[in-house]
Chain A
Amino acid sequence: MQQWIKGAYLTFCTVVLILAIPAMAAQSWQVAVQKAAVRQTPQVFGKIATTVNYGTTVEVQTEQKGWYKVRVGGTSGWLHSSALARTVAPLRAGTQNANVAASQEELTLAGKGFNSQVEDAYRQKNRNLDFAWIDRMEKMTVDDTQLQQFLLRGDLDGGAHAN
């Protein structure tokens, strides 16, 4: 009897998980990083189809090895899963399917927690801290072309990696 119950419980859990997978694929997700590249292929240096900003809603279609095929503003492409979250901002009523960035007000609300307002208060209390160098550091970026050249000239093959 107990074996039967154990089997029923495990079956129940498995069925729920299986049912949850297609439901997840059909959902609208949001961009959880400041800016991300939607690529034509699921590769780190795939050609960029478009770029999306924080809070933009995308329609997730399929998943492949850590990449999600998404549709946004009439364009299809691939976003790495680390750029997406189920939701970063509450959507306004009636905008569930709209591929629009959330309003500033919504982002402020969603960003409640450790956000720029809290950083400002923290900086007021800790005026000796050198945030200027952090701002300079964040400007140290290397674009796709520069990185690909760097890899190529260094006899490295990161550009071919599919992850």
Chain B
Amino acid sequence: MRTNPAVLCVALLLSGCAALTQITDIGSQIAVSTGYLSEDQAASVRKSSQALEKAFTDITPEQEYYIGRAVGAGIVTSYRPFNAPDANLYVNKVGQSLARVSDLPETFGGYHFLILDSDEINAFAAPGGLIFVSRGLIRCCPDEDALAAVLAHEIGHVQAKHGLQAIKKSRITDALTIIGTEGARSFGGAELASLTSAFEGSISDVTATLVNSGYSRSFEYEADRIAVDLLARIGYDPAAMRVMLEQMQQRLTPDSGGFGRTHPAPADRLKQLTSLPDVRRVHQRVAARQPRFTSALGRI
């Protein structure tokens, strides 16, 4: 039995689209009948197709929104918000400008940004676009472009749906089973209890990843690459990402919580970006942006 990678690739590519699962089935049946795939391989193709259908992509923007709200509520309960309307408005202007030019400009409830009253160097992106950044991390930003780099990195996590991918697939399967129950227009007691349990589990999965374990290095590097791209799209200097990471490297101590625990070291993140010439060049501060940055965040 020969395994033809081209056939497998095509079948798996097709399997990425839920609507084409049936085609995958037909294709794999043909491949089996002609000896191109073994029954096991064909089953694997079909299983991959079903797994992709039932993975985090089944979470609709509306459900992502409710997950994000609950994750966010946990964050603002642990880290108190920085109640400074002008500073928060300014951060929202920078962040929402960047979100507009992202590949995911529309989310169910939109992008919103909030400063956390914490010296810890930290930031969180809850699913759906609720983004939190600590005063400690803002202090790593000497100008608006560097702040934009921080916010663009968090938008990158939202765009790539990294938060949702932290949710165990079993939770989604449980929820889908309950949702699939026909008849009721709203949940009965048992249904609601089961679904709330799946919801709690999902919130716990995302929060544990954001606050304690952190994403995988590959997710962090992906968010950095998205961030550099977003900066360039809107006219910020991508080199500001390097400046921000260098500042962070200086301020993080071995026993730092926050990014010190959940993110790769800034030096490692920089290494991943060194292939990008725009990041390596000398950062040029734009005079037009500095007064508003200083006015809003100068005393942060």
Q: Which residues of A contact B (CB under 8 A)?
A: 2, 5-6, 9-10, 12-13, 16-17, 20, 32-34, 36, 44-45, 54, 66, 80, 82-83, 85, 88, 105, 108-109, 111-119, 121-122, 125, 128-131, 133-134, 137-138, 140-142, 146-147, 150-151, 153-158, 161, 163
**Cβ–Cβ < 8 Å partners of A138 in chain B:** 109-110, 112, 130
Number of B residues with CB within 8 Å of any CB on chain A: 73
Is the CB of B81 closer than 8 A to any CB of chain A? yes
Beta-carbon contact of A119 and B69 below 8 Å: yes
Q: Mark B235-278, 1 if CB is under 8 A from A, else 0.
A: 11000000000000000000000000000000000000000000
Is the CB of B299 closer than 8 A to any CB of chain A? no
Beta-carbon contact of B235 and A158 below 8 Å: yes
Beta-carbon contact of B27 and A13 below 8 Å: yes
Beta-carbon contact of B105 and A156 below 8 Å: no
Beta-carbon contact of A150 and B93 below 8 Å: yes
| A67: min CB distance to chain B, Å | 10
Q: List 24 A-B contacts (CB under 8 A).
A: A5-B34, A6-B7, A13-B10, A20-B20, A82-B106, A88-B60, A108-B186, A112-B179, A112-B187, A113-B195, A114-B199, A117-B187, A117-B192, A118-B66, A119-B69, A122-B200, A129-B77, A138-B109, A138-B110, A141-B112, A142-B96, A151-B97, A155-B286, A158-B235
Interchain CB contact (< 8 A) of A161 among B70, B77, B113, B233: B233
Q: Give CA–CA (A66, B103) in the complex, Å.
A: 8
Interchain CB contact (< 8 A) of B109 among A16, A34, A105, A116: A34
Is the CB of B144 closer than 8 A to any CB of chain A? yes
Q: Give CA–CA (A128, B144) in the complex, Å.
A: 35
Beta-carbon contact of B108 and A33 below 8 Å: yes
Q: Which residues of B contact A (CB under 8 A)?
A: 4, 6-7, 10, 14, 19-20, 23, 27, 30-31, 34-36, 59-63, 66-67, 69-70, 72-74, 76-77, 81, 88-89, 92-93, 96-98, 100-101, 103-110, 112-114, 130, 144, 175-176, 179, 185-187, 192-193, 195-196, 199-200, 202-203, 233-236, 286, 288-289, 292
Main secondary structure of the interface of A (DSSP, over half): helix
**CB-CB nearest in chain A for B144:** A154
Q: Give CA–CA (A61, B103) in the complex, Å.
A: 21
